[in-house]
Amino acid sequence: GESVGLHLPTLSVQEGDNSIINCAYSNSASDYFIWYKQESGKGPQFIIDIRSNMDKRQGQRVTVLLNKTVKHLSLQIAATQPGDSAVYFCAENIGQGKLIFGQGTELSVKP
């Protein structure tokens, strides 16, 4: 079946270091990918997105890389801060706005 998965369920980094969160997807037809951040007790918060005609997109302190050859997506967070601690989900749009989410990676930032 179609699935989106993450390689690592947890990631612990030192404050100020860069973080990399990875995601694998299986639907070659997906044309739109999104990273969301979810803090405890809150809904997912949009971070950054990328369309399938791109391989890199940068935001403020975040970069998303898309490798369609191996169906891999990553989120890079520069100079990670304690406020970045949360669960991060990748999601793929498999059509009509229907998003398939991965299981999530919990990012823990040590001061």
Partner 1 sequence: DTGVSQDPRHKITKRGQNVTFRCDPISEHNRLYWYRQTLGQGPEFLTYFQNEAQLEKSRLLSDRFSAERPKGSFSTLEIQRTEQGDSAMYLCASSGTGGRSTDTQYFGPGTRLTVL
Contacts (Cβ under 8 Å, ≥6 apart) of 56: 50, 63, 64, 65, 66
Nearest CB to partner 1, comparing residues 43 and 111: 43
Minimum distance of partner 1 from residue 16's CB (angstroms): 28
Given 42, 53, 69, 70, the residue binding partner 1 (CB under 8 A) = 42
Among 19, 80, 85, 93, binds partner 1 (CB under 8 A): 93
- Number of other residues whose CB lies within 10 A of the CB of residue 46: 10
Residues whose CB falls within 8 Å of the CB of residue 69, separated by 6 or more in sequence, listed in order: none
Q: In the complex, which residues of this chain contact partner 1 (CB under 8 A)?
A: 4, 31-32, 34, 36, 41-46, 49, 51, 89, 91, 93, 95-104
